[in-house]
Structure 1
Amino acid sequence: MTNPSDPDQARPANQGRRVAARNRAALIAAAREVFAEQGLNAPLSSVARLAGVGQGSLYRHFADRVALASAVLDENVRQIEAAAAEPDANLKSVLGVVTWHITRSTAFVDLLRVRGDDEQGRDLSARVRGVLGRCPSAGRGLSADELMLAIAMVSGAVAGPTLAERERLALAAWGLLGVEVGPLRSVELGDD
């Protein structure tokens, strides 16, 4: 710890925006994990602890629980958009990313349904629908609206205490719908 009365002790440099961006990304990743395991009512202190930051940092970035959950949802959609922009993207590969998020963000499916009536919920839904509408189809030729309905149906089937069980159920549900899904994966986003 620095002693303000000792001029020989250097004060740590303020790393500012660099650390702020890293903390925000860590908070979003931690929130995805904590909310998926414990639901949206999980203590925010658990999110801050997993992210390795103090609660003050959490509240500097996110005014409340809904703002934090919304940031996770926005990142989910940005990853889906990034997957669709990959050179070899097709519907199968994009649905692999969508399904990865469904199995890891089950608490957020409810939030999307609750917030579907607000502007942000409609915007997120329209962005996903737009991505699905632009994806080269792999087989079934479903419309974007039909795919959105299929995603809602699959997300309703995803339940289970373990990630492996949720993934198994999601893939089984897609199979019952006759839709082939690529490998379940996330997409690395570049710095904003």
Structure 2
Amino acid sequence: MTTGAPTPTAHRRRSPARTFLPLAVAAWVILEIWLLGLVADAAGGLTVAALIAGGIVLGAVVIKRAGRRAFKNLSESFQQAQQGQPPTARPTGTGNALTMLAGLLLILPGLLSDVVGLLCLIPPVRAWIGRRAGRLLERRVAAARSGSLADAFQQARIHQPDGKVVQGEVIRDDRPESRDRPDSDAGYRPPLAP
């Protein structure tokens, strides 16, 4: 029996991403505002407004084009699957995720995000980022496979290899009346039969 005392919990260490991501976003926003202020002082507010509007329009066009390409690829894959053909392999570096990210960065107001978005539109840069992101994802997946969640699933598969769920109820023998009268049938329940 527990006395109701709180159990001690181990202090979990905060991940570096959760610590530094808010600081990086705040620094990015401050840098964007500072750069917009510099351009406004040098060229005027109308120029800043035109740059922001141009970035929004260009980003919308890029996202729309990448979305159409993704929908076209999806519909081609469905047509091939309906015809019983294996899907054709697409060359790497033609993915739409980085193109859509570039469009999103162009839509965000700011000069630095526009420069990063324009860099993501250059095919060699996009391919390099795609390779780096792929390697990072592979490392994360490999680390997650060796983690505790994967071990828990493996243990569950060991105990129930067929994955069947058995309906039933839990019978506890730690009640006082069953300990006092072991020969009593009041708490007895027969086991479930298949």
Q: Could you say which TM-score interval applies, normalised by the shorter chain?
A: under 0.3
Higher relative contact order (CA 8 A, sep 6+): 1
- TM superposition score normalised by structure 1: 0.24
Structure whose CA Rg is larger: 2
- TM superposition score normalised by structure 2: 0.24
